[in-house]
Structure 1
Amino acid sequence: MEPAEAPLALTAWGQTDKPALVLLHGFLGSHADWQGVAAALGQHFCCYALDLPGHGASQGVRLTRQPAFDEVNRLLLATLAARKIDRFHLLGYSLGGRLALHLAQHLHQQGQSQRLLSLTLESAHPGLTSEEARQQRLEADGRWHRKMQTEPMVRFLEAWYRQPVFADLAPVQRQRLIAMRKNNDSRCLSALYLGTSLGHQADLRALARYQPLTLITGQKDSKFTELGQDWARQGGAVSHLVLAGGGHNLHAGVPEAFSQAVIDAALS
């Protein structure tokens, strides 16, 4: 029987005799975002970096529902099944981290938690704690969505990367990101952006009661570091690491320290 076609694009590297590591990038990114940590991680894992719907080589994949977390879970699992990846370590950055949380929750609900060898989150939000906060976030994301639909991509990106969470970016770094992302098609991104809004996400802090996880944040990213500290105080198996000199995007900003943190978290 021929293997099923993977619905999402996937790039693989590393040692084929090592355990699988599945990597999920953030909003506007692609598999190429992991280039700075690829060599280090590839020494310890067989790495599989997926392009999320509407991104990279998966631009043609359209989501049809809101919220879209269940639909993304199906796409992720179908992609892994097509490559016969059954058990794996999971690493997600920002939006990819939130998707990783939802995938871990889904596996737990299906009685398949043993498939997940470890869960590592980079600068990922566990979820808002009130309906009022979720509604406010949906309204804010609606405004960003309208910008994507009505403004040139470069203008949208200039506004996006001036948000407080990206305050550690130097002007040259900001311009480099804009140059990398400017050819993205906003129509390909909008369904994923709204469908996986933090306003649609449940509060997943309780996941740590039955799924050990590591959250890595940057010293310069006060918002997500405070979120991580609060999450760890609430109990459960949350290991929170703060990397000196790092901002929101640790795999780009402090790649060596980040790579070692991921390796230690997954293989310790």
Structure 2
Amino acid sequence: MRPLVLLHGFLGRGADWDAVRAGLPQAWDVAAPDLPGHGTATDLDAQAYTMDGAAARVVAERDGPVDLVGYSMGGRLALHVAVTRPRAVRRLVLVSASPGLRTARERAERRALDAVRAAEIAADLPAFVDRWYRMPLFDLPAALRRHLTADRIAHNDAAELGRSLAGMGTGAQPSHWGALAGISTLALAVAGERDAKFVRLAGAMAEAGGVGVALVPGAAHLLPAEAPDALARLLTDSLS
């Protein structure tokens, strides 16, 4: 069976991929783990809450190279795996994801912002999640936003999310822009057509080399929830 690993985004869990998995070929061996600090992946050793530690967990849980798909934070982690452990990845799909911030100053500013966000999470997780999904980036229908907000509150722990932000936030990730041209595996950057920021990022990754681009019509940022059928078809076509 073809091994496929799906990595979720910040605040999410492996179950976020259930609707996408339903549209994938049954012959594929699909895994969608909870990432450190999310869902059931809690009370881990400190190293697990870093990009290197999380990458090691992804690799350790599978035998041989895999097709690796990551959304947002999971996409950043998938790229980190491909850059630091190239033999572990057969094909790579980055969904609404970034190679990181280019400069040390940008990363420091983002770490400061993530520290503020961690404090907000600790103070009032429901209020934070509600604000998070009201950001223009997501542009979600009200019913889907309410569903996601309730799910995130029910399945996450505030302290664990803070640990994830500190070790795996965008500010904690090294920039992988310079590594894109050297990726030896087939790689694809996917963005929702209405997600202007990540459409630009996908184009910039393609210009940097080593990455193709695919857009999902009518969708914004949160593709696994917004457009699971379209994403499943895209993955089936690109990975087959």
TM score, norm. by length of structure 2: 0.92
Q: Does 1:161 align with 2:133?
A: yes
Q: Distance in 2 between matches of 1:135 and 1:224?
A: 21
Say if 1:79 and 1:64 are closer, same or farther in 2 by CA, change over 3 A: same
Other structure's SS at 1:41 match: coil
SS at 1:143 equivalent: helix
Q: Is the Cα contact below 8 Å between 2:48 and 2:54 reproduced in 1?
A: no
From 121, 146, 150, the counterpart of 1:179: 150
Matched, 1:243 2:216: yes
Aligned mate of 1:220, from 175, 194, 198: 194
Which residue of the partner structure matches residue 143 of structure 1? 116
For 2:59, the equivalent position in structure 1 comes to 77
Aligned 8 A contact 1:62 1:191 in 2: no
Quick one: which of 193, 204, 224 aligns to 2:176?
A: 204
How far apart are residue 64 of structure 1 and its match?
A: 4.3
Rounded to whole Å, the distance in 2 between the matches of 1:207 and 1:134 is 17
What is the CA deviation profile of residues 70-126 of structure 1, one whole-angstrom value per residue up to 9, with x for unaligned ones? 11122222222xxxx212100101000001111111113xxxx2x321000110011
Matched, 1:232 2:214: no
Q: Distance in 2 between matches of 1:137 and 1:73?
A: 21
Counterpart CA distance in 1 for 2:10 and 2:46 is 15
Q: Distance in 2 between matches of 1:89 and 1:75?
A: 15
Aligned pairs (5 A) from 1:37-76: 37-64=20-47, 68-76=50-58
Amino acid at match of 1:207: A
The Cα shift of 1:35 comes to 1.3
Offset at 1:44?
Answer: 4.6
Matched to 2:147, the amino acid is: R
CA distance in 2, matches of 1:254, 1:65: 31
Residue deviations 1:210-265 (CA, integer Å, cap 9, x gap) = 3231010001111111111122123x221011111111111221222211111222
SS of the residue aligned with 1:165?
Answer: coil
> 3-state SS of the aligned residue for 2:203?
helix
SS in 1 for 2:24: helix
Q: Which moved more, 1:52-61 or 1:133-142?
A: 52-61
What is the TM-score normalised by the length of structure 1?
0.83
* Structure of greater Rg: 1
One-letter identity of the residue aligned with 2:135: Q
Cα RMSD (Å): 1.7
Contact 2:102 2:177 in 1 (8 A): no
Report the CA distance shift for 1:209/1:87 in structure 2 as closer, same or farther (over 3 A): same
Residue 88 (structure 1) aligned with residue 66 (structure 2): yes
Query: Which shows bigger deviation, 202-211 or 99-108?
Result: 202-211
Q: Is the 8 A contact 2:110 2:170 kept in 1?
A: yes
Q: 1:63, CA displacement in angstroms?
A: 3.0
Using CA pairs below 8 Å that are at least 6 residues apart, which structure has the higher relative contact order? 2
Choose which of 10, 13, 27 in structure 2 pairs with 1:27: 10
What is aligned with 1:3?
none
Q: What residue in structure 2 maps to residue 170 of structure 1? A: 141
